[in-house]
Structure 1
C-alpha cells in the first residue's frame, strides 16, 4: 500500500472544478483523484479530504483542500494539477496493539420494510433521530446525543469490529456530521458522513490490515471509510 499527501494546483482547474473542490464535493474530488492512477481500471484508492493548517513549502495557502490517499498502486503526480508526496505504507500490527485513529465514515443500518423484497438502508443517525421523535422526545440536545450514540455504537458494534479485526476500548469522539447530495448523469448521489476520533485495539492483525486497505462502511468512493492511524506512545 501507499500513503500519499496530495495537493491541488488550483490554477490547473476550470471554474466549475475549482468550485466543486472548494465546496468539498466528494463526487467531483473522487473523479479528480482518479487522475493519479491513469492505468487503473478499478478504483485502487481511498481518500480523506482535510484543509491545510500550515503553509507548505510550495507556498500553498492555509485553508486550501488537502487529500490523504491510501492506494494499492503508486500514484503518479499530474504536473500543473496534482502534487503528490507518497511513501510505502506497511503497518506492523500485533495482537493487543493500541492505535490512535481518525475515521470519516458513512454509518448505515438495513431495515426490512413491508412490501419490499430487499432491506432498505438508512442513515444510522437519522434512524436514531426518527426513533427518538416517535418516542416523543423533542429536546434537541437529547436527540443529538441519541444520534451520536447511535454512530458510536455502529462503529463499536461487536460483530462489525470482530469482522474487521479491532476493538474499541473506549467510545470515540464524534464530530462533523454532514449530509451530501450530488447530481450526476443517471441520477443523484446521497449519503451522510461523520468523523470519529479515538483509540482502538488490534484484535486480529490480518483482518485489520485488510480493513485498512479496503476501508469500512459505505461511500468509500466518496471520501469515507479511510482509517488514519498512528501508534500510541507507551
Structure 2
C-alpha cells in the first residue's frame, strides 16, 4: 500500500471545479483524485480531505486550501499542473496489543427492518438515535445529544470487533455533517463523523486488512480511511 499527501494546484482548475473543491464536494473530489490512477478502471484508493493549516514542506507554506490523504494499492502518478502527491510505502509492522492513536472519518449506518417490508432500510445511526428519542418522547436536548453520541460510539465498537482492534478509552466524536450529492439524476444522501482516540491492535492481520479496505460505507465520498500513528 501507499500513503500520499496530495496538494491541488488551483490554477489547473476551471471556476466550477474550483468551487466544488472549496465546497468539499466529495464526489467531485473523488473524481479529481482518480486522475492520480488513470490506468485503473476500478477505485482502489481511500481518501480523506483536510485543510492546509500545517507546514507541508520546507519551502511550502500552508494555503488554507483542501489537502488530501490517499491510501492506495498502487503508487499514484502526479498530474502536472493539477495534483502533486508526496508518497511513501505504507506497510506498518504491527504487534498484538500495540497501542496506536487514530483518526477516522466514517459514515456510520444501521439497518432497520420495517413491518411488511422484505428488505431492511439503511439509516444514519445518529438520526436513528434521534428518531428513537422522539418515539420515547425524550425532548431534553442534552439527553438527545448524549444518545446520538452513544450511537456513534456503539457503531465504532461493533466495527472494531470485526476489524481487529479494540478501543482504549472513549474516542472523541466531532464534525457531524450531513451531505447530499446529485449524481446520475438522483440525490445521494450520507453523513460523516470524525472519531479520534486510542486503539489497541487485537489482530495485526485483520487490522491491516481493515486499514486497506476502509471502515464503513461511503468510501467513494471521503469516508473510511483510518489514519494511525504511534503515540
How does the TM-score come out when normalised to structure 1? 0.95
Indicate whether 1:208 and 2:207 are aligned: yes
Pairwise CA RMSD: 1.2
Q: Is the 8 A contact 1:55 1:62 kept in 2?
A: no
Aligned with 1:36: secondary structure? helix
Point out where structure 2 has 5 or more consecutive residues left out of the alignment: none
Deviation at 1:30, TM superposition (A): 0.4
Instruction: Provide, for residues 20-44 of structure 1, a one-character-per-residue CA deviation record: whole Å limited to 9, x for no partner.
Output: 1001110110000000001111101
Aligned with 2:53: secondary structure? coil
Instruction: Provide, for residues 118-171 of structure 1, a one-character-per-residue CA deviation record: whole Å limited to 9, x for no partner.
Output: 1111000000011112111112222112111110111012xx322110111211
Deviation at 1:60, TM superposition (A): 5.6
User: Which residue does the alignment assign to 1:117?
Assistant: 118
**How many residue pairs align between the two structures?**
230
After TM superposition, the structure 1 = structure 2 runs for residues 81-96 of structure 1, keeping only pairs within 5 Å, are 81-96=82-97
After the TM superposition, which parts of structure 1 deviate over 6 Å for at least 4 consecutive aligned residues?
Answer: none
Deviation at 1:61, TM superposition (A): 4.3
In structure 1, distance between residues paired with 2:55 and 2:97: 37
Point out where structure 1 has 5 or more consecutive residues left out of the alignment: none
User: Which residue does the alignment assign to 1:50?
Assistant: 50
Larger deviation, residues 98-107 vs 53-62: 53-62
User: Which residue does the alignment assign to 2:219?
Assistant: 220
In structure 2, distance between residues paired with 1:120 and 1:63: 39
In structure 1, distance between residues paired with 2:50 and 2:104: 12
Q: Is the 8 A contact 2:168 2:197 kept in 1?
A: no
Aligned with 1:194: secondary structure? strand
